[in-house]
Copies of this chain bind each other. A is one copy, B any other.
Amino acid sequence: MAKYSKAMLAGLYKTLYTIRVFENSCIKLYRQGLIRGYFHPYLGQEAIATGVCAALEKDDYITSTHRGHGHCIAWGGDLKKMVAELLGKETGYCSGRGGSMHIADITAGNLGANGIVGGGIPLGLGAALGASIRGERRVAVTFASDGASNNGVFAESLNMAGAWNLPYILVIENNQYAVSTPIEEVTRVSDLYKRGPGYGVESVCVDGNDVLEVYQQAKEAVTLCRRGKGPVLLEAKTYRHMGHHVNDPGAYMPEETLAYYKSKDPVKIGRKYLLEMGKATEEEARDIEKAVEHEMEEAIEFAVTSPEPSLEEFLKEV
């Protein structure tokens, strides 16, 4: 594995830790009744959003999923606007109209989370297509899930991206479940990257809990795409740290498997990289963590004290 600078590793760790803290804090808000609707935590999958987004540039595009907080944060999202959106406030990313499943940051190129599993795949394809028509070197990344890989748009879009040589990276976060249904029950080949070659698409598989492995492969994928050699199918194997959504106890997840993946906690791995490869001190790591925790507190404060959307305004709009 290549060697990375301390600053780079610190940046990755900061993102990993932010996602972790964000999700844990917001789960608390959910349990307090401040957040409503569906909430699908990204806990356990942090390294994927973090590693992939680190390989992108700011004018690239991403599309996200129903489990989308991690992507938004890794893409540089503003925690204040995120929490505010989860609370349905006017100051949120979507002025309280969207909520968890629809957080988007359009101007920054984050085309949004999506309540339709697989719904973001064609959107990402279209972003890549637009960039290609304009002759830009931008890349579009779609974060998708193992469940989405069984939806028709997955194959259709992968095929079109291939036929048109688009700068498109289709990331499958294979956390091995669609709600409670194990991937092995709904497909014969649970190595989902193996579907790429049938479409002539460059396909790779990475350990989705290892942020540097994700980053490296994503970087190569981005390079291919910028050279006009896209698309790339990138499968990242991972596992959730809890049930499907905040209210799912996840009883169907075998204890040993969960323990195994927790022992490969992406946030701990990122910290280890920072300390060992980055030669950072324990104190430096703690400083990052404290800064994140502080930022999170401020975001919650901001969101809680933000105004509700105006009903009158809304009724005028619709």
Contact = CB atoms under 8 A, between A and B. Distances in A.
Contacts of A194: 197-198
A200 B201 CA distance: 17
A153 interface: yes
A186 interface: yes
A159 B230 CA distance: 25
A189 interface: yes
Nearest to A185: B163
A160 B188 CA distance: 9
B195 A188 contact: no
A33 B73 CA distance: 65
Interface string A223-261: 000000000000000000000000000000000000000
Contacts of A197: 189, 194, 197-198
A195 B196 CA distance: 9
Contacts of A185: 163
Q: Is the interface of A mostly helix, strand, loop or mixed?
A: helix
Contacts of A196: 198
Contact of A201 (B160, B163, B188): B188
A156 interface: yes
A154 B154 CA distance: 11
Contact of A151 (B151, B156, B188): B156
Contacts of A162: 187-188
Contact of A189 (B150, B155, B198): B198
Interface in A173-201: 185-189, 194-201
A152 interface: yes
Nearest to A155: B155
Nearest to A183: B163
Interface in A133-188: 150-156, 159-160, 162-163, 185-188
A140 B197 CA distance: 27
B199 A195 contact: yes
Interface in A106-136: none
A187 B165 CA distance: 10
A158 to B, nearest CB: 9
Contacts of A153: 152
Interface of A: 150-156, 159-160, 162-163, 185-189, 194-201
26 contacts: A150-B159, A151-B152, A152-B154, A152-B155, A154-B155, A155-B155, A155-B156, A155-B195, A159-B187, A159-B188, A160-B186, A162-B188, A163-B187, A187-B199, A187-B200, A188-B200, A188-B201, A189-B198, A189-B199, A194-B197, A195-B198, A195-B199, A196-B198, A197-B197, A197-B198, A198-B198
- Which 7 A-B pairs rank lowest in CB-CB distance, beginning with the nearest? A152-B152, A188-B200, A155-B155, A195-B198, A189-B200, A162-B188, A198-B198
Given A159-B187, A163-B187, 8 more contacts: A152-B152, A155-B155, A159-B186, A189-B198, A189-B200, A195-B195, A195-B199, A197-B198
